[in-house]
Structure 1
Amino acid sequence: MGVDVVLKQVSRPGTSSRRRRLAQLDIVPDTDDVLARICERSKLPMLRRVDPYDDLILTAAEMPQFLDEVETERKLTTDDQERALLAAVHHLGEHCSTQPCTELHLESD
């Protein structure tokens, strides 16, 4: 079970949570279950929260820790496929941390 990382724009006209709308801005697909395996073996707290059977939504407030953990795993791995995937995930996380009204969705298959 892979974990796709999706950057989404959140719009909420008015005050009702039922009017919340999400638009996909970018995606890093986990077609070979690489991210799922990284998160499963990780000892880092935020990456350990990633579940290949359930979705996880992260906000800009959570990005500093998420980015640090992704970068730590990227530095630890010797696998080129893992390194490339983590770099792409880090890139989406950076966008989430700087763009207002965005969320990073880690979506299970």
Structure 2
Amino acid sequence: MEFVLYRVSQPGTSRRRRSLREVAMVTDDHGVLAWLFQTVHDRPGVPMLKRVDPYRDLEFTSAEMEQLIAELDQVAPSADEFKGGLETVRAVRALAQRCLEDPELVVRFVGD
């Protein structure tokens, strides 16, 4: 699974003219994100993370980043069980923060 930050270019209103340019990426080498998204289904208060499927792609806009960041902060301590887990979640959070600050960016969880 990967977490990718994209810059959106969409001249006009047609979605057919929409293009994405990769800005940055976090690769989940240790399976931390996949594990987190499988375990959050039992947690209250993380509706956005519950939407993530480790085998499918899911895109979030900058307008959704405040909630996503709050949910990442909530689950981050659980990631410490994995080698490199907390660093992975922090890296994802940093890209989410960049997306929050720039409405021309989106983030996408890319499943396997």
Cross-structure match for 1:105 = 108
RMSD: 1.3
Cross-structure match for 1:33 = 31
* TM-score normalised by structure 1 residue count: 0.91
User: 2: CA distance between counterparts of 1:77 and 1:32?
Assistant: 11
Q: Deviations over 1:74-107 (max 9, x none)?
A: 1344335211111000000000000121101000
Unpaired segments ≥5 residues, structure 1: none
One-letter amino acid of the counterpart of residue 62, structure 1: E
User: 1: CA distance between counterparts of 2:12 and 2:26?
Assistant: 31
SS in 2 for 1:96: helix
In the TM superposition, residue 6 of structure 1 has moved relative to its aligned partner by 0.2
Q: How does 1:10-49 map to 2 (within 5 A)?
A: 10-42=8-40, 43=43, 44-49=46-51
- The percent identity for this pair of structures is 36
In the TM superposition, residue 15 of structure 1 has moved relative to its aligned partner by 2.2
Unpaired segments ≥5 residues, structure 2: none
* TM-score normalised by structure 2 residue count: 0.88
Query: How many residues are treated as equivalent by the alignment?
Result: 107
Q: Deviations over 1:11-37 (max 9, x none)?
A: 001222111010000000112221010
Instruction: Detail structure 1 runs of 4+ shifted over 3 Å in the superposition.
Output: 75-78
